[in-house]
Amino acid sequence: NAGVMQNPRHLVRRRGQEARLRCSPMKGHSHVYWYRQLPEEGLKFMVYLQKENIIDESGMPKERFSAEFPKEGPSILRIQQVVRGDSAAYFCASSPGTRYEQYFGPGTRLTVT
Amino acid sequence: KNEVEQSPQNLTAQEGEFITINCSYSVGISALHWLQQHPGGGIVSLFMLSSGKKKHGRLIATINIQEKHSSLHITASHPRDSAVYICAVITDKLIFGTGTRLQVFP
């Protein structure tokens, strides 16, 4: 049973470009969570999704950020018109349900130049 | 004030020492995670617990729900235990502490 997969592991974008981060949850997990870790800071919740539904996006910046978890395929975190302040590690986690243990992916390190 | 506080923020130890990392929280929770993050690496879930005590190898985690406090203990510490240890409480989402950076020297 493969763990949570994230790709790419490293992503470099110029200011103004779009970044797409992918997360494939563990087999049998229908709940996906995205977290951001800014340099030298702690982890912060961004968004919680179930298949085809956004359950809680209270941690998402109001503009430029969106997330989806389609019926088929991975969850996508999309950042439009990236700025230097978006440079961070983005982690995805999955679980079989709410209040279950979450399993983390290896993260995507986004660098905006 | 953060909803999840960890102490100490930084910890150095000699190989073989017994280590304790503390976590206090101020919100109602259903459970608590202890996570480990190596430099440049991903995040590993060490424990999820909602009461009592759990043990895995040299790691022991305890939680006191009434006192809103949890501890992570490492017995016979080793340099490979050097990492950041993060406490995260489960409400309807995970709320993270700021982490404890542990360095174990040979």
**CA B21/CA B71 separation, integer angstroms:** 6
Yes or no, beta carbons of A43 and B96 under 8 Å apart? yes
Identify all chain A residues contacting B95, using CB atoms and an 8 Å cutoff.
45
Identify all chain B residues contacting A101, using CB atoms and an 8 Å cutoff.
33, 45, 48
Query: pLDDT by residue for chain A (113 residues), tens digit each?
Result: 579 999 999 999 999 999 999 999 999 899 999 999 988 888 999 999 999 899 999 999 989 999 999 999 999 999 999 999 999 999 999 998 876 788 999 999 999 99
- The pLDDT tens digits for B20-78 are 999 999 999 989 999 999 887 789 999 999 999 999 999 999 999 999 999 999 999 99
The per-residue pLDDT for A80 is 97
The neighbour count for residue B75, using CB atoms within 10 Å, is 13
Interface residue B48 vs chain A (CB under 8 A): yes
- The pLDDT tens digits for B67-98 are 999 999 999 999 999 999 999 998 878 899 98
**CA A47/CA A38 separation, integer angstroms:** 16
Q: How confident is the model at residue B6 (pLDDT cuts 50, 70, 90)?
A: very high
